């Protein structure tokens, strides 16, 4: 009995101890939630500090704690473009804000459309006679796109700036697959639909090269025009056309070369830069460290200057990221999720619907689900407008076809009207290892599709016919939307990718403009007066739980190094990670289970994809994700 009593006391002690631990964890979690939420009380007179450690996106993605914990990779910081533009515009007219400060040492970039929108907002701050100051250890193309709009551009003396321009190489695997005896069966329609070329060729086709040269050439011209306008003293021709001579003239000192080439105005470390900001915005009364200055961060500022919601509502649905089947997202365009958001909003008294698209496409079935949901709103006899961001190609254009009017920017990437599927079979590899297939068939399709023994000619023919039918449906939808013939759409289709400027000339886009222009057009079409309407975004609010996870899982000092910080050699190292990520992505696309695809693999890699590629994902996380799906 005495022994049993001791065991009982031990169990009671363990229970009490665990209760105390869980109670402490509960209060710690409650405290974390309360302190993680940004508060307007944190707004101070001084500078608006935009410390952009990550990427500018159309829509923030959800933090996956399981993947983060298993891989050890922190989530990449994401900043919604509309939040940045609103924050900067409000700073222009608020007396509490003396200057806007950009810290771009951890900046990973964003699409040209997004960066130009933020840059134009910075121009409005300068037009209000407020300075904009930028600092970074190293500037790349995207960071320079933003910094060009600053009144003072600083770079660390140990850093520099390099402009590379769009373009580069991608990997081709035809010979590798042949050596491995893997047969990549390609089904496609579209002369320019080069998404499947990495699996069927060892180099770029002449048609793809023609398309890339036109697309990248247009994007590069727009980038140069925007940056030169914002920063006239920049010697861009010298920096980009004679990079070796330019760097050698400064004896290899990239910071001095950046200064001589007009990329930056001043050299200085963080302390020197902070002292300069303090001259304008005031010193920090709570921080006596060298280089401290008074500032307000982005999140509390946004909490303090939340947009007004006057009058009637115009619904805005965001289609951002790859379009996939299921309820994925935000940040990924899950067809089921977005269609549900639209259907739930049918009861809302929206006067118009704006569809904001920033997607290279993806699943045909998911794209059609979204299109049908948009059409159900159009059936209510309200204006439906599409606003294209960086990319609205392939499936991104498919979901745009219900629009009464399509807005895009010259830098928008669109088109890619084509369709494909790729399926690997292993009959040659099996034969090499002494494995063969045999059996009895009652029809040509018995036991098919067979990825080990290979497809019969009938299966190949049926799959190709299905792809051709999908392309015909794509042409039909676009032709009806654009009031053109199918033959006209076929001529500008064939998987070809267009810049926004050319897309407007050939009739795929109606008008230049951003999201605000699209909203204004929709309001006017709905008969609403200025100041008598507001935008209501569907399903885009990320809750406090996700905000807490992001704040707990993100270490700014490590994120800065991983995402964008470092010198030229660190940039090279990150590109190696991106290349490895591209290989992983290409293999996954070949081996994963996918239906027909309206996906623009030809479109330039967007920052979120690049960030994901740079984050190595462990096999344990991949295994766990199978059980989580």
Q: What are phi and psi of 250, to 5 degrees?
A: -105, 20
**What percent of the chain clears pLDDT 70, i.e. is strictly above it?**
80
Would 619 be classed as within a structural domain? no
Tell me whether residue 26 is in a domain: no
- What digits encode the pLDDT tens for the residues 209-250? 999 899 999 999 999 999 999 999 999 999 999 999 999 999
Residue 561 confidence (pLDDT) above 60: no
Radius of gyration of the chain (CA): 27
**Is 60 exceeded by the pLDDT of residue 629?**
no
Q: Compute the distance between CA of residue 153 and CA of residue 155 in angstroms, rounded to an integer.
A: 7
Domain membership of residue 501 (yes or no) is: yes
Region 550-570: mean pLDDT is: 50
pLDDT digits (tens, 9 = 90+) for 304-363: 999 888 999 999 999 999 999 999 889 899 999 999 999 999 999 999 999 999 999 999
Tally of structural domains, the chain: 1
Whether 93 is in a domain gets the answer no
- How far apart, in whole angstroms, are the C-alpha atoms of residue 53 and residue 41? 24
**Where residue 157 falls among pLDDT bands split at 50, 70, 90?**
very high
- Just list the catalytic residues: 193, 394
Count how many Cα atoms sit within 13 Å of the Cα of residue 518 in the half-sphere of its side chain: 30
State the DSSP H helix or E strand holding residue 559, giving kind and residue range, or none if neither. Answer: helix 556-563
Higher pLDDT residue, 313 or 625? Answer: 313
Task: Identify whether 161 is part of a domain.
Answer: no
**Gap between the Cα atoms of 148 and 157, Å rounded:** 19
Residues contacting residue 562 through CB under 8 Å, at least 6 positions apart: 74, 614
The answer to whether residue 493 sits within a structural domain is yes
Q: Which residue carries 């006899």 as its tokens?
A: 381
Within-domain flag for 193: no
What mean pLDDT comes out for the span 501-515?
96
Q: How far apart are CA 596 and CA 398, in angstroms?
A: 13
**Least confident interval from 171-175, 479-483, 510-514, 559-563:** 559-563
For residue 503, what is the domain's CATH number?
A: 3.90.226.10
| Residue 42 reports pLDDT greater than 90 | no
- Chain mean pLDDT for the chain: 85
List the one residue out of 31, 77, 49 whose CA is nearest residue 551.
77
Token pair recorded at residue 295? 């500032």
Q: What tokens appear for 320 in the block?
A: 């951002």
Range of the domain at 398: 312-537
Residue 17 maps to a domain: no
Q: What is the DSSP string of 236-258?
A: HHHHHHSHHHHHHTTTT-HHHHH
How many Å is the maximal CA-CA distance in the chain?
Answer: 93
């Amino acid at each position: 009995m005495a022994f049993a009593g001791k065991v009982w006391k031990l169990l009671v002690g363990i229970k009490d101890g665990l209760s105390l631990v869980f109670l402490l964890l509960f209060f710690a979690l409650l405290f974390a939630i309360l302190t993680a939420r940004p508060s307007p009380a944190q707004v101070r007179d001084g500078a608006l500090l935009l410390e952009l450690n990550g990427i500018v996106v159309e829509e923030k993605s959800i933090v996956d704690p399981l993947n983060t914990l298993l891989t050890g990779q922190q989530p990449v910081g994401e900043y919604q473009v509309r939040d940045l533009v609103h924050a900067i515009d409000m700073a222009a007219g608020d007396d509490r804000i003396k200057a806007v400060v950009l810290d771009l040492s951890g900046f990973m970039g964003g699409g040209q459309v997004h960066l130009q929108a933020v840059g134009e907002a910075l121009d409005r701050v300068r037009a209000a006679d407020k300075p904009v100051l930028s600092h970074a250890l190293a500037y790349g193309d995207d960071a320079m796109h933003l910094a060009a709009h600053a009144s003072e551009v600083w770079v660390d003396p140990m850093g520099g700036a390099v402009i590379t321009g769009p373009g580069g190489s991608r990997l081709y695997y035809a010979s590798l697959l042949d050596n491995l005896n893997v047969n990549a069966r390609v089904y496609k329609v579209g002369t320019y639909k080069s998404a499947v070329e990495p699996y069927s060729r060892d180099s770029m086709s002449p048609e793809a090269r023609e398309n890339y040269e036109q697309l990248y050439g247009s994007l590069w011209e727009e980038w140069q025009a925007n940056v030169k306008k914002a920063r006239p003293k920049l010697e861009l021709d010298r920096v980009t056309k004679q990079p070796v001579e330019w760097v050698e003239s400064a004896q290899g000192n990239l910071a001095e070369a950046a200064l001589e080439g007009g990329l930056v105005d001043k050299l200085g470390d963080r302390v020197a830069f902070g002292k300069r900001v303090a001259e304008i915005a005031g010193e920090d009364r709570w921080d006596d460290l060298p280089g401290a200055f008074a500032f307000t961060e982005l999140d509390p500022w946004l909490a303090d200057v939340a947009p007004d919601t006057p009058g009637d509502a115009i619904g805005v649905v965001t289609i951002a990221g790859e379009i996939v089947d299921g309820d994925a997202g935000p940040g990924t365009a899950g067809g089921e999720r977005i269609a549900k958001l639209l259907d739930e909003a049918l009861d809302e008294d929206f006067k118009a619907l704006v569809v904001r698209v920033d997607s290279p496409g993806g699943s045909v079935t998911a794209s059609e689900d979204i299109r049908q949901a948009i059409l159900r709103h159009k059936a209510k006899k309200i204006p439906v407008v599409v606003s294209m961001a960086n990319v609205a190609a392939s499936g991104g254009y498919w979901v745009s076809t219900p629009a009464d009017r399509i807005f895009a920017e010259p830098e928008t990437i669109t088109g890619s009207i084509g369709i494909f599927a790729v399926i690997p079979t292993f009959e040659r590899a099996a034969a090499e290892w002494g494995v063969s297939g045999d059996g009895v068939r009652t029809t040509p399709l018995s036991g098919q599709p067979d990825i080990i023994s290979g497809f019969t000619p009938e299966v190949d023919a049926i799959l190709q016919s299905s792809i051709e039918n999908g392309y015909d449906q794509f042409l039909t939808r676009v032709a009806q939307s654009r009031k053109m013939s199918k033959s006209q759409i076929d001529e500008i289709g064939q998987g070809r990718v267009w810049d926004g400027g050319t897309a407007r000339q050939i009739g795929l886009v109606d008008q230049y403009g951003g999201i605000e222009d699209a909203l204004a057009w929709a309001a006017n079409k709905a008969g609403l007066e200025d100041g008598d309407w507001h935008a209501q975004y569907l399903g885009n609010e990320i809750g406090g739980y996700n905000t807490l996870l992001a704040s707990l899982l993100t270490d700014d000092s490590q994120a800065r190094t991983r995402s964008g910080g470092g010198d030229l050699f660190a940039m090279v190292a990150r590109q190696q990670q991106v290349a490895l990520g591209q290989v992983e992505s290409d293999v996954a696309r070949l081996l994963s289970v996918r239906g027909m695809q309206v996906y623009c693999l030809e479109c330039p890699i967007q920052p979120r994809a690049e960030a994901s590629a740079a984050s190595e994902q462990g096999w344990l996380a991949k295994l766990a994700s199978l059980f989580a799906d």
